[in-house]
Amino acid sequence: MRPLEYVAAAPKAELHLHFQGAIRPVTLLELARRHRVALPAEDLDGLRAWFQFRDFAHFVEVYAILRSCLVEPEDFELVTYELGSELAAQHVRYAEVTFTPGPEVYRGPRDTFFGGLTRGRELVRREFGVDLRWIFDIPRRTVGLYPDLPLADFITDTAIDGRNDGVVALGLAGTELGYPPEPFEPWFDRARAAGLHSAPHAGETAGPASVWGAIHALGAERLGHGVRAIEDPDLVAYLVEHRIALEVCPTSNVSLGVYPSLEEHPLPRLHAAGARVTINTDTPAIFGTTLNSEAALLATAFDLSPPAIDDILLNAFEASFLPPEERQALVAWARAELARERSLTA
């Protein structure tokens, strides 16, 4: 079996996958028509052109429109079901999916989105054998508010209430520049006290100071992106020592201009330094990528050895927020499956 075939067949977990950014373009068009949401394009070619980002602010704008197309419980159930189908086709057994409620969501009943997410999750587990868990994200800034206190309260309360329905962590997303993580400490303190994990975005569009802030103020156990930690050797050493995993999304980083090319991406250097690197898609429908194609970069663009590729694939299982016994069982299964797939290449 060739390296790319091996990577495609290998068992996978994904830890950095945005729900709204995983909506299939054809589904987005249908939802927009159903709910009379005006899109800048009315066909697939037009959507692809619209998704060619100018800058991070444009990305946030696109994301807000995606959110506005999700209105009814059935919308959330449909997108969850289609996401599970996509993941199963790529041999993904487990995924932690980030869901970011916008201001439009908390004005309505909680069940509008959470009921749909839950029913979709149950269908995905039953039909595809894929286990989905949720990370509820607080947006750093909404409509000029920083922080948006009512929205942050709503998301944190909903995340805590959803612990028995698959919610495993509280996250923090949105533009880092000018919006550091420290003001969100009270909400993360409350979530962590209730048993949720901490998984904020940091070290994507801002540098090491953002990562240090996420660690010290928010108790980050994993970092969304975190790649710009490479700019501070002391920070990299800290991440290695404390085993704080990085949810690395190479195509996203290049598409959004964090790095000019894959050749300049720090993933190989972070892995060589001992950081717990994982490979992820971020917003696959927007960037036109898949977890298989991101994992393939490990063998192609990054020219990593087979043992290094296996390490990175296993990192995602080991850094998951499952309860310890479930995580240990899943890691054991993944190791056995990787060994079986690797034996086919011998």
Specify the pairing of strand 197-202 against strand 131-139: unpaired
**From 82, 204, 294, 318, the catalytic residue:** 204
CB 154 within 8 A of CB 106: yes
The pair of three-digit structure tokens given for residue 279, joined into one six-digit string: 């490979």
164 φ/ψ angles, rounded to the nearest 5 degrees: -90, 0
How distant, in Å, are the alpha carbons of 42, 71, 74, 85, 273 from that of 33?
9, 12, 15, 23, 49
- What the block records as the tokens of 109 is 């009943």
Q: State how far the Cα of 205 lies from the Cα of 249, in Å rounded to an integer.
A: 13
CA nearest neighbour of 289 among 17, 3, 10, 12: 17
- CA–CA separation, 266 and 329 (whole Å): 31
DSSP string, 179-233: --SGGGHHHHHHHHHTT-EEEEEESSSS-HHHHHHHHHHH--SEEEE-GGGGG-H
Q: Is residue 250 within 8 Å of residue 218, measured between CB atoms?
A: no
- Whether the CB-CB separation of 123 and 109 falls below 8 Å is answered with no
Report yes or no: 170 and 138 within 8 Å, Cβ to Cβ: yes
CA distances 21 to 94, 163, 340, 346, Å, are: 18, 23, 33, 38
Q: Are 63 and 56 in contact (CB under 8 A)?
A: no
CA distance 292 to 60: 25
- Is residue 42 flagged as an active site residue? no
Closest CA to 202 of 181, 183, 216, 221: 181
The set of catalytic residues is 204
